Amino acid sequence: MLSFISRRLAIAVPTLLVVIAGSFFLMRAAPGGPFDADAQLEPEVIENLRAAYDLDKPVMEQFLLYMARLLRGDFGPSITYTDYTVTELLAIGLPVSVKLGLTATAVALLFGCLMGIFAALYRNRWIDYVTMSIAMTGFAVPAFVVAPVLTLVFGLYLKLLPISGWNDGALQNMVLPVIALALPQIAILSRLTRGSMLEVMRQNYIRTARAKGLPEYKVVAGHALKAVSLPLVSYLGPAIAGIMTGSVIIEQIFGLPGMGRYFIQGALSRDYPLVMGTVVVYATAIILLNLLADVIYGYLDPRVRRE
């Protein structure tokens, strides 16, 4: 198991380097720069500004300087938020996105699995049809349509929940963003679980468990669930990536002060250090969580450890 984890880690580090180098050179390769909008500034002032952010040096040297600082945990100063370092901005944004993302993941896993299991157990009954309709809707109606409709119904018509804002993560502010973020994942997870559950319930060992007289809930909980969880764990990686990219749009719609907002604003205003900072954090999170999913998979299915 330990060698399995270390092998995966050995791939994770170069992957992260590829992400950092890729986004760094991609941004520097583009025409224009962060001070294009400041047309009223004197050329000398712009030169000084560029020098202050190391933008006057050759690109390769900039990259090495950036990497050296990154290794010390310093993301550099933000260009648009002149009074903040990127680290400070990330410290504001990250907790918001993490709380939102984790809650949405938990909600998606809980509801997705439960709905899938019950749909499979009561196949072709009303509970199956309801679940599969929700799954189809969740797939076909994207989050950026669901979210405004939710705010319209629950915020403006029924006046039950606030339509935007974070309010330090108060429960009533979390409800709508979490639903909008979790719904597409619930759709996929419930379909996956249902398919996997139908497959597993046909297996011989399930028949054996029934034959020795176990009650149905013990057959499901004790024998079926472990096998059902395998395809779910292998979907965890894409699910996490989906929730992170979804979070960018949900934060925008509900006006939440998370990482996604800084990423979009940074990209639009060419705030290189801010974009790099957010990309590094997103990439690290995705790679680490993928690694975690791999480890869980290896734990559940010993065959993959010996590849």
Partner 1 sequence: MGFLTQRRDRQLAAMQAAGRTVGRSLWQDALRRFRSNKAAMGSVFVLAFISLMAIFAPMLSPHTLEDFYWEYILVPPTLENGHWFGTDANGRDMFVRTFYGARVSLTIGVMTTAVALLIGVTWGSVAGYFGGRIDNIMMRIVDVLYALPLLFFIIILVTVFGRNIYLVFIGIGAVEWLTMSRIVRGQTLSVKQKEYVEAARAIGLSNLVIVRRHVVPNIIGPVIVFVTLLIPTTILVESYLSFLGLGVQEPMTSWGTLISQGAASIDTGPWLLVIPGTFLAITLFCFNFIGDGLRDALDPEGR
Residues that bind partner 1 (CB under 8 A): 11-12, 14-15, 18-19, 22-23, 26-27, 29-32, 136-137, 139-142, 144-145, 147-149, 151-152, 156, 237, 241, 244-245, 248-249, 252-253, 263-264, 267-268, 270, 275, 279, 282-283, 286-287, 290
Min dist. Cβ of residue 269 to partner 1 (A): 9
Residue that is written with structure tokens 């990250």 in the block? 94
Comparing CB distances to partner 1, the nearer of 126 and 157 is 157
User: Residue 197 or residue 287: which is nearer to partner 1 going by CB?
Assistant: 287
Write down the least CB distance from residue 287 to partner 1, Å: 6
Q: Least Å distance between CB 16 and partner 1?
A: 9
Q: Which is nearer to partner 1, 65 or 149 (CB)?
A: 149
Residues linked to residue 238 through DSSP beta bridges, in sequence order? none
Query: What is the spatial distance between Cα 191 and Cα 247, in angstroms, rounded to a whole number?
Result: 22
Bridge-partner residues for 77, per DSSP? Answer: 85
In this structure, the number of other CB atoms found within 10 A of the CB of residue 298 comes to: 19
Q: Are 210 and 219 in contact (CB under 8 A)?
A: yes
Collapsing DSSP to helix, strand or coil, 5 comes out as helix
Measured from the CB atom, the residue of 87 and 252 that comes closer to partner 1 is: 252
Nearer to partner 1, 11 or 45 (CB): 11
Give rounded-to-5 percent helix, strand, coil for the chain. 80, 0, 20
Copy the structure tokens of residue 58: 């050759």
CB of residue 151 vs partner 1: minimum separation in angstroms? 7
Q: Which residues of 152-164 are buried (b: 16+ CB within 10 A; e: fewer)?
A: eebbeeeeebbbe
The CA distance from 13 to 7, in Å, is 11
Q: Shortest distance, CB of residue 265 to partner 1, whole angstroms?
A: 10
- The least CB distance from residue 245 to partner 1, in Å, is 5
Nearer to partner 1, 223 or 272 (CB): 272
Q: Are 18 and 12 in contact (CB under 8 A)?
A: no
